[in-house]
Amino acid sequence: MGVDHRLENNVVLTADVSYTKDINAAHVQNWGLRTPSSNLVGVDNRELYENADKGNSAFVFTNSDQGRIFNAAVKAQKTWDNGLFAQLAYSYLDAREVNSVDAEITGDAFNANAVAGNANTDVLSNSRYGDTHRFIGVISKAFKTGTTISTFFEYAQGGRFNYIYGGDINNDGSAINDLLYIPTASEIGQMTFSGDGQAEAFEAFIQQDDYLSDRRGQYAERYGALAPWRGSCDIKILQDSFVPDFSQAPVFTFVPNHRITFTANTFERSRWRAQVGVRYIFN
C-alpha cells in the first residue's frame, strides 16, 4: 500500500507499507536426527542429542509457513526551478524466517542454520538479509553552464550475525550452528572455564556488548545481533559537451583544383598491351 501527496510548496511526500507472508518457504531438516532425548547439565541446559538419537544424515528440503516480512518507507523530495533537486528517505525492515539459506548444497544449509534446541524445528527468527534501518539522501544542482553536481549519502544499520559456540555443544553433528547461552553474572561463577581469567574476560565482554548485555539469562537469537551503523557519501560531477546541430542549414566545402572528372591512370593494369605469336604448320 502506498500514497503520494504534493504539498503547496511542491514537496512530494511518499509513504509505502508492505507485508509478505510465507506460505511454502524453504526449510532444511536432517531426517537422520531423532528428537533429542537429553539435556546439558549446568546453566546452559539446552536439549542434547545422545548418540542413540543420531543415524545416517539425510538432509531434506521441506517447507514452512512461519516466515514474514514487514517493510515501511517514507520519502520527501522537491525540484526547484533553478535546477536544484533534493530527496530524503527512510526505510524500516522487520524480516523473519526459519532458514536464511546461504549454501549451494542442502547439508551446508542445515549445518549453518543456528539453533538452540531441536535442530529440525522450524523456529521463526530474524532473517540475515536486508537493513533494519536505512536513511538515504540525494542533492543535485544543474547549472546553466552544463555542469551538474550531485551527492548521494547512506546511513544504515544491518549486517545481522550470530553469536555461536565454537564447537558442537548439542551433538547434532554441526560445529557451527549452536547459539550462545548468555549467562548472568552469578551464572558465570557456576561455569567451568579451561583457564584462569577467562570468566572475568567473558563477563567484561558481555557487559560491553549492547546485544549480549540485554539478553542475559537467555539464548542468543538467530541473526539477532546487528552490526554498527555504517555510512557512505558519493559525489558526482558531470559536464555536458555540446555538438553542432546538423538539422540547421549545412555548410559545403569544395576543393578548387578538382577541375575534371577523370585523369590518367598510371597503374600497370591501366596500360595498353599487345601479344604477337608465330605458328608454322608442316604438311
Q: Is residue 158 domain-resident?
A: yes
CA dist., res. 127 & res. 141, Å (int): 39
Tell me what the pLDDT averaged over the chain comes to: 90
Q: Is residue 84 domain-resident?
A: yes
User: What pTM did the predictor assign?
Assistant: 0.77
Give residue 41's pLDDT: 93
Q: What is the pLDDT of residues 191-210, one digit of tens each?
A: 999 999 999 999 999 999 99
Q: Is residue 68 domain-resident?
A: yes
Closest-CA residue to 71 (of 50, 96, 51): 96
CA dist., res. 238 & res. 22, Å (int): 45
The lowest-confidence range among 37-41, 150-154, 274-278 is: 274-278
Could you tell me the residue range of the domain that residue 60 belongs to? Answer: 2-180+220-239
Q: Is residue 14 domain-resident?
A: yes
At which residue does the C-alpha cell 514452512 appear?
64
CA dist., res. 135 & res. 2, Å (int): 19
Number of folded domains that form the chain? 1
Closest-CA residue to 223 (of 128, 98, 132, 156): 128
CA 231 to mean position of chain CA atoms:
15
Give residue 247's pLDDT: 66
Q: Is residue 269 domain-resident?
A: no
Q: Is residue 165 domain-resident?
A: yes
Q: Is residue 141 domain-resident?
A: yes
pLDDT over threshold 90, residue 263? no
- Give the CA count within 13 Å in the CB-facing half-sphere of 244: 6
pLDDT over threshold 70, residue 134? yes
Q: Is residue 273 domain-resident?
A: no
